[in-house]
Chains A and B, each alone.
Chain A
Amino acid sequence: MSKNIIVKVEDLTMAYHDKPVLWDNDVNIIENSRTAIIGPNGAGKSTLLKGILGLQKTLSGTVEIMGKSVKQVHKKIAYIPQSNSVNWDFPTTALDVVLMGRYVHLGWIKRPKKKDIETARNALHKMGMQDYAKRQISQLSGGQKQRVFIARAIAQNAEIYFMDEPLAGVDKNTEKVIIDFLKDSQKEGKTSIVIHHDLNTLADYFDHLVILNKRIIAQGKMSETLTQANLDAADMGGGFKINA
């Protein structure tokens, strides 16, 4: 695996009001890795993702993705938010949401063409959701909603996936589909950055790790970073023991 840094964050500080949520963080994400971000509640995990993507204001720091600014490479970045962050009662279908992944390449005003719809259908199929294409999104289960979101990222044909707790509240089957997707993407040369909360599955699902608690506690290869000392330093050690 190449050791290139694909996402480089330097001195990132973010605040809610005057209260800093993230303190002066340097984060390096390795190209073609499956990187997990973990941390206790309120550690600023989601804030970090949003800060990297320019969705929330930063007080200081720079972000480079593939050596460029987010705006310059936005077509290659797919963001999969927490599934409760959007209005699922919105009058639209699963296929339509996936089709939004194509909007990135269409730009303003242009309408999706047959080829885009085909791409969207294939993306749904990859997530095992082909039978739900015309289903209204409010009638999907939690796991199905998450699969629709990932299908949207597939339709976008991005290089880097940013995911905010994609496994929260999904069924076992969906969890497997998502992890298989991450592993397949890695084989295709893609990078994923995923906020994760289950320490038991961490080492199986990911190969790189960022431990965050308002500041970066540790980051690097999974085997070197997932240590009891690091978890304790992030106030995450309680009740969990590393099997050495």
Chain B
Amino acid sequence: MIYQNLLLTKISDFLNYNQQMLLTLIVTGIACSILGCFLVLNKLSMLTDALSHSILLGIVLAYFVTKDLNSPLLLIGAGIFGVFTVYAIGLLSKTRLVKNDDAVGIIFPLFFSLAVILISTFARNVHLDTDIVLMGQVIMIPLNNMTVFGVELPKALFYMLIILLINLIFVAVFFKELKVSSFDPEFATLAGFSSGLLFYGLMTLTSFTAVAAFDAVGAILVIALFVGPAASAYMLTKSLKKMLLVSIIFSILNSTLGFYLAIVLNVSISGMIAVITGMTTFMTVLLNRQGIITAIYLRYKNRKEFRLDLLIMHLGNHEDQEDAEFELGFATIKDHLSWDKETAERRLNRLIDQGFVQRNYEKKIFCLTEKGRLRYDMIKVDYGM
């Protein structure tokens, strides 16, 4: 016994309870967001909603078979059931009697409510209660430990690490195939990459990830983890690799911020992370390249630049003309532009600072520098003159 204890490495020797929870949340978040990117690109984000709810029925049914809440068979059963859900939704929408979105909306409430009824009827004494189903039990993570290869660590952390590893390998190995079938499924099929095979591969992993994550963080946060960081990254990035990377960064940020805020405010950890995820996604909507705030800022900046362009045009047009001394004169230029003295000076000074304009003291006029004339030619091209 003593010998064994000497060999045992306890994760609690390195990380306190809070750190163990946070690490588990981060690992879960990364595992979800790398798949989430492909779900978002394939417009399948609502399927995660269906999955995260309907796997509960899978868990309940598997529990009736195994009679053991700690059995790994529970996770496998639920994972398979998740794939079945996706298949059922696909089958229902293939009848063309209902649309795909509607099929999602029909199948998952049915499975979820069946599960709730089964729990409340037959499994009242089991800790499968509905609050936990929705919000998870992050706080319990460090209390459920297991020992693997001489390391004692939280069970949820171990499962999520395995899932993360599988997901990473899947995406790394099939990166090219996932990319082409997400971008142009018909081309992918013709090129010999069966979109169906990739779809069910992706869905199987999504299902198992959802089941494992569900146990730790609940049904609602699972959806947020899958969709939020991926949707944010989608708005910000130009390449698929960057999208994956940015979604991971978002995911870590959301989990860390949400976790510590929840501790400080003493509220549900899952709930707070979901809130922060929603908020960062919303901020991205506002601030991304085509976002609302960016558009307002750009319009303001453009207007300012437009005035400066106009000034350069004025200088360029009149420089070699006979009326230059009036049009561009130190004292008279403002009248020709109908600007007040201060505005005209401010704008001219700015252009002088930028090296586009200089003062010609001999003729007492403003004129363009070499750089200014280049800019003048460019503006003419830009505005089609």
Residues of A within 8 A of B (CB): 17, 50, 53-55, 70, 74-75, 77, 79, 81, 85-87, 89-93, 96-97, 100, 103-104, 106-109, 111-112, 136, 152
Q: Are A108 and B193 in contact, CB atoms less than 8 angstroms apart?
A: yes
10 A-B residue pairs with Cβ-Cβ distance under 8 Å, sorted by A, are A17-B96, A79-B186, A86-B183, A86-B184, A91-B239, A92-B183, A92-B238, A103-B193, A107-B192, A152-B187
Set A17, A55, A92, A111: member contacting B186, Cβ < 8 A: A55
B175 CB to closest chain A CB (Å) equals 8
Size category of the B interface is: 20 to 34
- A17-B238 Cα distance, complex, nearest whole Å: 39
Taking a contact as CB atoms under 8 Å apart, the answer to whether B193 and A100 are in contact is: no
Contact among A53, A86, A91 for B242, CB-based, below 8 A: A91
Residues of A within 8 A of B192 (CB): 74-75, 104, 107
Cβ–Cβ contact A109 & B174, under 8 A = yes
Known: A55-B189, A81-B184. A136 touches B177 (CB 8 A): no
Complex contact B190–A53 (CB within 8 A): yes
* Residue pair A92, B179 in contact (C-beta under 8 Å): yes
Establish whether residues A103 and B190, one from each chain, have CB atoms under 8 Å apart when the complex forms.
no
Q: Does B264 contact A (CB under 8 A)?
A: no
Contact across chains for B183 and A90 when beta carbons are under 8 A apart: yes
Q: Mark B164-203, 1 if CB is under 8 A from A, else 0.
A: 0000000001101101101110110111110000000000
Contact between chains at B191 and A92 (CB < 8 Å): no
Q: A74-B192, A87-B41 are in contact. Are A93 and B183 (CB under 8 A)?
A: no
Beyond A17-B96, A91-B243, A100-B191, list 17 extra A-B contacts (CB 8 Å).
A50-B186, A74-B191, A79-B187, A79-B190, A81-B186, A89-B234, A90-B183, A91-B234, A91-B237, A91-B238, A93-B239, A96-B239, A100-B184, A103-B191, A104-B192, A109-B177, A152-B187
Cβ contact within 8 Å between A77 and B239 = no
- Which of B96, B174, B177, B187 is packed against the most chain A CB atoms within 10 Å? B187
B69 interfacial by beta-carbon distance below 8 Å: no
Q: Are B187 and A111 in contact (CB under 8 A)?
A: no
Q: Are A100 and B177 also in contact (CB < 8 A) when A79-B190, A91-B240 are? A: no
Q: Report whether B186 and A85 are in contact in the complex, using a CB–CB cutoff of 8 Å.
A: yes
Pick the most buried of B41, B174, B176, B189: most chain A CB atoms within 10 A of its CB. B176
| CB-based contact B187/A100 at 8 Å | yes
Partner of B239 from the list A81, A85, A92, A108 (CB cut-off 8 Å) is A92
Query: In the complex, which residues of chain B have a beta carbon less than 8 angstroms from the beta carbon of A111?
Result: 176
A145: min CB distance to chain B, Å: 12
Q: Which residues of A contact B96 (CB under 8 A)?
A: 17
Q: Are A97 and B183 in contact (CB under 8 A)?
A: yes
* B41:A77 contact, CB within 8 angstroms: no
Assess A108 versus B177: contact at CB under 8 Å? Given A17-B96, A91-B240.
yes
> Which residues, 222 to 249 on B, are CB-close (under 8 Å) to A?
234, 237-240, 242-243
Which residues of B have CB within 8 Å of A91? 234, 237-240, 242-243
B177 near A90 with CB under 8 A, answer no
Closest-by-CB residue of A relative to B240 is A91
